[in-house]
Amino acid sequence: MELLKEKIEAEGRVLSEAVLKVDSFLNHQIDPVLMQEIGREFAQLFKNEGVTKVLTLESSGIAPSVMTALELKVPVVFARKRKSLTLTDDLITTTVYSFTKQESNEISVSKKYLQKEDRILIIDDFLANGQAALGLVGMVEKAGADIAGIGIVIEKAFQDGGKKLRELGYRVESLAEIKSLSNGKVTFLEKAVEELTK
């Protein structure tokens, strides 16, 4: 997605060979017009997958998920990182380790909002080692629902999360795939060019 790549090039900050900071438009400050375009792109990609619900993880996954769900005319449910006293229902829970934050979080979704009849589109802001996405996949499986696909805003293609998910048979669509963050520079995977030169 060109608009997203241009935004990453213009505003993303490479903090290390593994960390890209995009908090000016995705993780802290949010560009709602870009989120709308991202939502339209995911909806276009997954429109024939029979999606009944979008599942994401608070907080940075919420904006792109709501825009995608608006286009697909389905609800969103976001997994919570901590239990709330007002969430008293039965929960589906799993533990996710964040390498970025160096901590484990228990994430949970109310059973009421993940039903076995659902076809779930998982959306998240980043895919690196795949811990968060695998956690969400596990919750959908616990609910007995199907996974329609996995939509990722930014995939760090030099880490193995995407490989793991694709080897499990899931359709993973990433709107920007980063090949490397070496030398303080963002280098994208150029899929179209690779395919043309095959």
Per CB under 8 A, the list member of 1, 69, 137, 176 interacting with a second copy is 69
Match 């007002």 to its residue by tokens: 86
Per CB under 8 A, the list member of 50, 87, 95, 187 interacting with a second copy is 87
Instruction: Give the DSSP H/E element, type plus range, for residue 7.
Output: helix 2-11
Q: What is the 3-state secondary structure (H, E, C) of 90-140?
A: CEEEEEEEECCCCEEEEEEEEHHHCCCCCEEEEEEEEECCCHHHHHHHHHH
- Is residue 137 close enough to count as binding a second copy by CB under 8 A? no
Locate 94 and state its tokens.
């799993």
- Is residue 19 close enough to count as binding a second copy by CB under 8 A? yes
Per CB under 8 A, the list member of 48, 88, 183, 197 interacting with a second copy is 88
Peptide bond into 24 cis (omega under 30): no
Nearer CB in complex with a second copy: 50/75: 75
Minimum Å gap between C-beta 18 and a second copy is 11
Name residues contacting a second copy, limited to 92-111 (CB under 8 A).
100-102, 109-110
User: What type of residue sits at position 15?
Assistant: L
Piece of 78-86, 130-138, 159-167, 183-191 that binds a second copy (CB under 8 A): 78-86
- Is residue 183 close enough to count as binding a second copy by CB under 8 A? no
Bridge-based pairing of strands 119-127 and 103-110 is: unpaired
Match 């199907």 to its residue by tokens: 146
d(CA 80, CA 97): 14
Per CB under 8 A, the list member of 86, 183, 196, 197 interacting with a second copy is 86
Footprint of a second copy on this chain (CB under 8 A)?
A: 15, 19, 21, 23-25, 27-33, 35-36, 58-59, 62-63, 66-67, 69-70, 73-78, 80, 84-88, 100-102, 109-110, 112-113
